[in-house]
Structure 1
Amino acid sequence: MTSRVTFVSPAMNDSLRQARFDDGCSLDAGGRARARAAAGSLPPAVRVVVSPSARCRETAAALGLDGVEEEPLAGLDVGRWRGLTLAEAGAAEPQEVGRWMADPQSAPHGGESVVDLCARVGDWLRAASETDGHTVVVVEPEIVRAVVTEVLGAPAAAFWRLDVPPLTATSVSGRDGRWNVRLGQALGPDPAEGQSA
């Protein structure tokens, strides 16, 4: 049995634009338009799953996907830093932010550590390997980072070295718990379309 899971990062919203920890804000007009333009660009799926956040639900809807929310794919719980930019959290709690960025096991914000997030996502991925065929998942960028970290068997510190642009697809495929990864495919019309030879 071969499984393939495509993880789609949400389209742009004010929180992403300002590098703000998710505060539940909706997609902005540009993000919504870009997601609508990308509708139909993903291969058919036997299952569609969505992170339980406004921007992921709205991205899925704009892409024409009707997904089921799964709590294990919720974004990283940043506790009392929710809604703050990293700079704002750093200005208020510089030592705590420094520790959090340096130690993936720490959670000074009162939420979840990066190690715990990676373990949660790894558990979900192991269960997903039992699904034959293609699954599309619209998830927060940190979920994509955790997936890549887990699939590559990278140390949790690698989590911070991965950039996940808005509205891109990262796919993993494999069988028997052995995955291959394809990173950062942009969604939307093929840029080569409409060009004459």
Structure 2
Amino acid sequence: MLISPAMNAALREARFTGDAPLDESGLRQARAAAHVVPAADRCLRGPSRRCVATAEALGLRSEAEHALREWEMGRWSGARLTDVSADEPERVAAWLADPSAAPHGGEPLLELCARAGAWLDSLHGGGAGRVLGVAEPALIRAAVVHALALPPEAFWRLDVPPLTVTELSGRSGRWNLRCGRPLAPGPES
């Protein structure tokens, strides 16, 4: 299971996130959702401040997992997509069209999908049990692309809203997907 982190200013401003922390609204929403987090045998989180704060606000005792780190955007990190698109329209177009392109000097989409896939496949064997990871949306999208053997271009057609659970069950080579379940507080019983 993968949980996307709560909202932050970088997401609101459509920035290549860099390492932006949660904003107050995101922190409140994560704390409110703590009681509906699915049970897991092992909890992991990406190393970004947003993943760390979300995991803490959800009450998870999680360990850092380097493979769950954010998509490396090189010199575009922290910049607004609209600004980069205005300054470098050809490079943005190439990046969106070619999964092997990394005009920003960071990680190409193909490498992100391979990294997410290698981590996902590593969960089988060794008795990992039910694993829950708090990971950036790009990593979750890449994991879904890998798990379902989708073409890399499908990555751009997947949305992962803040504080949602994406469940992948099965095993390497045969994954099932349950996506988009919000971690919203339910009505009181």
TM interval, short-chain normalised: over 0.9
Q: Could you tell me how far apart the structure 2 residues matched to 1:15 and 1:189 are?
A: 24
Q: Could you tell me how far apart the structure 1 residues matched to 2:128 and 2:97 are?
A: 38
Query: What are the superposed Cα offsets for residues 8-49 of structure 1, whole Å, 9 maximum, x if unpaired?
Result: 001000001111111322111111000000002122211111
Query: Corresponding residue for 1:153?
Result: 149
Q: Could you tell me how far apart the structure 1 residues matched to 2:172 and 2:7 are?
A: 35
For structure 1, the residue ranges without an aligned partner over 5 or more in a row are: 1-5
From 21, 27, 30, the equivalent of 1:35 is 30
Query: Corresponding residue for 1:73?
Result: 68
- The offset of 1:176, in angstroms, is 5.1
Q: Could you tell me how far apart the structure 2 residues matched to 1:67 and 1:37 are?
A: 18
Structure 1: which amino acid aligns with 2:19? Answer: G
- The offset of 1:94, in angstroms, is 1.0
Identity, in percent, stands at 48
Q: Could you tell me how far apart the structure 2 residues matched to 1:80 and 1:176 are?
A: 34
Query: What are the superposed Cα offsets for residues 133-168 of structure 1, whole Å, 9 maximum, x if unpaired?
Result: 211100000011001111110000100110110010
Q: Which has the higher contact order (CA 8 A, sep 6+)?
A: 1
Query: Corresponding residue for 1:88?
Result: 83
**Residues 189, 85 of structure 1: alpha-carbon distance in 2 compared, 3 angstrom cutoff:** same
Q: Once superposed, which parts of structure 1, at least 4 consecutive aligned residues long, lie more than 4 Å away? A: none
- The offset of 1:188, in angstroms, is 2.3
> Residues 1-197 of structure 1: matches in 2 within 5 Å?
6-130=1-125, 131-175=127-171, 177-190=173-186, 193-194=187-188
- The offset of 1:73, in angstroms, is 1.2
Q: Could you tell me how far apart the structure 2 residues matched to 1:184 and 1:17 are?
A: 19
Structure 2: which amino acid aligns with 1:143? Answer: L
Judge conservation of contact 1:39–1:62 (CA < 8 Å) in 2: yes
- The offset of 1:183, in angstroms, is 0.4
**Residues 145, 109 of structure 1: alpha-carbon distance in 2 compared, 3 angstrom cutoff:** same
**What TM-score does the superposition give when structure 1 sets the normalisation length?**
0.92
SS at match of 1:118: helix
Q: Could you tell me how far apart the structure 1 residues matched to 2:172 and 2:65 are?
A: 23
SS at match of 1:158: helix
Q: Could you tell me how far apart the structure 2 residues matched to 1:102 and 1:176 are?
A: 28
Q: Give aligned pairs, total.
A: 188
For the aligned residue pairs, the C-alpha RMSD in angstroms reads 1.3
Judge conservation of contact 2:47–2:68 (CA < 8 Å) in 1: yes
